[in-house]
Amino acid sequence: MALHVLTLFALTLLLQSGCGTTTNRIGTEQLLISDAVDKAVDRIDFSALTGVKVYLDSRYISSLKTNHFIDSNYVTSSLRQQLTASGALIQDDREHATLIVEPRVGALGADGHDVTYGVPQSGALSSAVSAVSGSSIPVIPEISLGRTDAQAGVAKLVVFAYDRETREPVWQSGLAKAESTSSNTWILGAGPFQRGSIHEGVKFAGRKFDRAPVRKQLLPQSDGLNIPDELHFDQAYLFKPDPGRPKPDTVQQASFEEGVDESGVEEQTEASP
């Protein structure tokens, strides 16, 4: 019987030895929080403020502090970028603005939980052996067949605008809530397998598990300062390209024109590009 117990104990140690661990989660938490902020800001439609002189009053979020580097400065800069991309004219002086835009933050942080799949630690077998034979054996440790460490970053923003002089309400964004996720999974000690909204596909110990290329959708360039109907926060876009630079998709080809000579006979001439 002692041989079986030792075999079980050795097998347990082998399963728990594993081949991967996660020692620091600060970088992942920063990515989760900043990604949640970007998503929440991207869901705010500032198109109603296009062409309007606005002043972003961030005094009610200036005291926002977190332990993850992402604070009020990041939120303010993200809002300024989205306002600019929507065509609003941001003013540094409050008195030069027509509307006052005021944001507030309802939530900004990260949560996490661990789930273990297997047999929990138990001392029942050790107690039974002691009662029968009088000898003792070590307590059976936890047998982990799989484990998942999941994290989530959350952000909740609200923005509204009012007339600087009359104080009359002009616009409000409604609730903009977003969540970013990341999880590390170990199967029979192998891992971590990383997946979630902040990862491009599935990764094994920080490296891409699938080799499928990630295609980024780029919006077409504009000849003037035109604001597209849809411009997402994570998309590249050139608002005002150099008018002297030819478009990359523009191809000049030689054309043929039909002319008439003095004798009235049609002839074909090649026109220079």
Structural domains of the chain, ranges and CATH numbers in brackets: 2-111+122-143+151-180+197-208 (3.40.50)
Average pLDDT rounded to a whole number, residues 227-246: 62
Grade residue 10 by pLDDT with cuts at 50, 70 and 90. very low
Grade residue 128 by pLDDT with cuts at 50, 70 and 90. low
Grade residue 251 by pLDDT with cuts at 50, 70 and 90. very low
* SS3 state of residue 250: coil
The DSSP letter of residue 245 is: S
Select the more confidently predicted residue: 171 or 218.
171
Task: Tell me how far apart the alpha carbons of residues 267 and 53 are, in angstroms, rounded to a whole number.
Answer: 60
What is the per-residue pLDDT for 184? 85
Is residue 66 pLDDT above 60, yes or no?
yes
Is residue 92 pLDDT above 90, yes or no?
yes
Task: Tell me how far apart the alpha carbons of residues 234 and 224 are, in angstroms, rounded to a whole number.
Answer: 21
Task: Tell me how far apart the alpha carbons of residues 220 and 177 are, in angstroms, rounded to a whole number.
Answer: 29
What is the per-residue pLDDT for 13? 45
What is the per-residue pLDDT for 235? 66
Average pLDDT rounded to a whole number, residues 101-117: 89
Computed over every residue of the chain, the mean pLDDT equals 74
* SS3 state of residue 127: helix
Lookup: tokens for 220: 């077409």
Q: DSSP letters along 77-124, please?
A: HHHHHHHHHTT-EE-SSGGG-SEEEEEEEEEEEEEEEEEEEEE--B-H
Lookup: tokens for 25: 């989660």
Lookup: tokens for 59: 């005094």
Grade residue 122 by pLDDT with cuts at 50, 70 and 90. low
Nearest in space to 22 (alpha carbons), one of 188, 210, 194, 201: 194
Q: DSSP letters along 143-169, please?
A: EEEEEEEEEEEEEEEEEEEEETTT--E
